[in-house]
Amino acid sequence: MSAYSSLLKTTGVARIILAQLVARFPFGMLSLAFLLHVEQVTGSYAAAGIVLAASSVGQALAGPLTSRWMGTWGMRPVLVLTVIVCGVTVTAVALIEMSVPWYMALSFLAGLSTPPVQPAVRTIYPKMVNSKQLTPLFSLDASAQEIIWVLGPVITTFISTQAGTEWGILTAVGILAVGGTWFIASPEVGRVRIPRSKRKIGQVLKRPPVLLATVVGFLLIGACSALEVGVVAVFGHDGLEAGIVLGILSLGSLTGGLALGHIAIGPWALARRMFIVFAGIALSTLFDGIVALSIVLFVAGIGIAPALTVLFAMVSSSVKFSDTAEAYGWMGTGQLIGAALGSAVAGILIDSNGAIGAFWAATALAFLGFMVPLLGKRWHPDLRGRDASPIPDTEPILIQTS
């Protein structure tokens, strides 16, 4: 834990972590809020899953595009534009009752305008700490973001059941406005400028570690998304049980991230962590009570944040600084396509097979998420004794002082 306390004493680190957590907090609420709202309006989990998938597809398309824009126009202009557009479209989903195609269209636009906070902050991190602190910082970030997934589902479920599903969405919009403004105003966002990449968009995916991280992220988040839909289907949207179980899953992730974050990243690291996720989710197919599900999903969660830490370090150590934002954008795209696939397939299987169908989908995706890094070990960088800093660009990087 001393590594984490040392990090938090570094100038600006605690502030930027907290600011980006608040800015991203709404996205720990919105997927469940959309699911609850659309299912209540339409009476169909399949329709709700498809609407949620449309949002994820929009986010997936936006990931590398808005990340490249930050290298062209600067972080702040892109963040301001996306916060405004996203806030307006999400508000429309909450307040206007419409048909499923219109819900899909607005959800897609909301996803397309998702503020690129994650690529921005992970591009800033290497400029804030020394090389030895970078991997622990990625671990702290991956662990801290689980606060979003611990509290987000519980808050969303409570507000949606007590005040109405539209208020669950509107609460997320309010937090987006506050958190987005705080993050945009952070000095580090104005101080670090991303160099314009000289490569064509998508070229960064030719680096095997980046492609491996993108594929595994797709499978990991797809499994978690299917699991989320399944938990909601088991407990319904009239009580707090679903939010509590999902919160415990994320609490397991937070625990795992803090406990395993200091371990050196070797070539088997990702496969080992993904096996923990797979084992816990596979066990969840055998239970449907709140206590038993909470226990096995806590186990599954132990592997999530550590796996994400490995993914961040793999990407950072494999690309030039000017390509980091786009690389993280593609990684986010992979995760969001996984979320779209996981939620859509889970919704369809629930309508045909009951809640267990979603757990089957989550188990299959988690198993593939274990097999891919196991078979792709040769593309996994060995970071034992190495730092995870990006490869330096050959030209000076402008650091703005005002």
Q: Is the per-residue pLDDT at 378 higher than 80?
A: yes
pLDDT band at residue 298, thresholds of 50, 70 and 90? very high
279-298 average pLDDT score: 91
- List 391's β-bridge partners, or say none: 320
pLDDT band at residue 232, thresholds of 50, 70 and 90? confident
Instruction: State the Cα–Cα distance between residues 369 and 215, nearest whole angstrom.
Output: 8
Read off the pLDDT of residues 171-183 as tens digits, 9 standing for 90 and up: 999 999 999 999 9
Closest CA to 219 of 58, 334, 345: 334
Instruction: State the Cα–Cα distance between residues 9 and 108, nearest whole angstrom.
Output: 40
Distance in Å from the first CA to the final CA of the chain: 34
- Pick 190 or 94 by higher pLDDT: 94
The answer to whether 58 touches 110, Cβ cutoff 8 Å, is yes
pLDDT on residue 352 = 83
pTM of the model: 0.75
Closest CA to 324 of 336, 312, 335: 312
> For residue 216, what are its two tokens?
């595994």
The contacts of residue 96 (CB under 8 Å, 6+ apart) are none
> At residue 332, what is the residue type?
G
pLDDT on residue 397 = 47
pLDDT band at residue 2, thresholds of 50, 70 and 90? low
Alpha helices (runs of H) in 43-186, residue ranges in sequence order:
45-73, 75-95, 100-112, 117-124, 131-144, 146-162, 165-185
pLDDT on residue 391 = 62
CA dist 77 to 18, 20, 73, 115, 243, Å? 21, 16, 7, 11, 35
pLDDT on residue 277 = 95
Instruction: State the Cα–Cα distance between residues 190 and 236, nearest whole angstrom.
Output: 44
pLDDT on residue 171 = 94
Percent of the chain with pLDDT over 90: 25
Q: Per the CATH hierarchy, to which homologous superfamily does domain 11-379 belong?
A: MFS general substrate transporter like domains (1.20.1250.20)
> For residue 239, what are its two tokens?
């009580």
Q: Name the strand (E) or helix (H) holding 190.
A: helix 187-191
pLDDT band at residue 197, thresholds of 50, 70 and 90? low
pLDDT on residue 187 = 87
When mean pLDDT is compared across 117-121, 152-156, 227-231, 355-359, the lowest value belongs to 152-156
Coil/strand/helix, residue 351 = helix
The answer to whether 167 touches 91, Cβ cutoff 8 Å, is no
The answer to whether 311 touches 213, Cβ cutoff 8 Å, is yes
- Pick 160 or 3 by higher pLDDT: 160
Instruction: State the Cα–Cα distance between residues 218 and 214, nearest whole angstrom.
Output: 6
Q: With 0-12 CB in 10 A as exposed, 13-18 as middle and 19+ as buried, what is 177?
A: middle
Q: Is the per-residue pLDDT at 372 higher than 90?
A: yes
- Tell me the Ramachandran region of residue 153: left when phi exceeds 0, alpha when psi lies from -120 to 50, beta otherwise: alpha
The answer to whether 116 touches 66, Cβ cutoff 8 Å, is yes
4-19 average pLDDT score: 81
- Pick 349 or 137 by higher pLDDT: 349
pLDDT band at residue 386, thresholds of 50, 70 and 90? low
> At residue 127, what is the residue type?
K
At 320, give phi and psi (nearest 5°).
-75, 155
Read off the pLDDT of residues 74-94 as tens digits, 9 standing for 90 and up: 889 999 999 999 999 999 999
> At residue 17, what is the residue type?
I
Closest CA to 370 of 289, 312, 290, 300: 300
The contacts of residue 37 (CB under 8 Å, 6+ apart) are 93, 94, 160, 165, 166, 168, 169
Question: If you average pLDDT over every residue of the chain, what do you get?
Answer: 83
pLDDT band at residue 402, thresholds of 50, 70 and 90? very low
Q: Is the per-residue pLDDT at 116 higher than 50?
A: yes
Alpha helices (runs of H) in 317-355, residue ranges in sequence order:
321-353
pLDDT on residue 275 = 95
- Compute the CA torsion angle 373, 374, 377, 379 (nearest 10 deg): -30
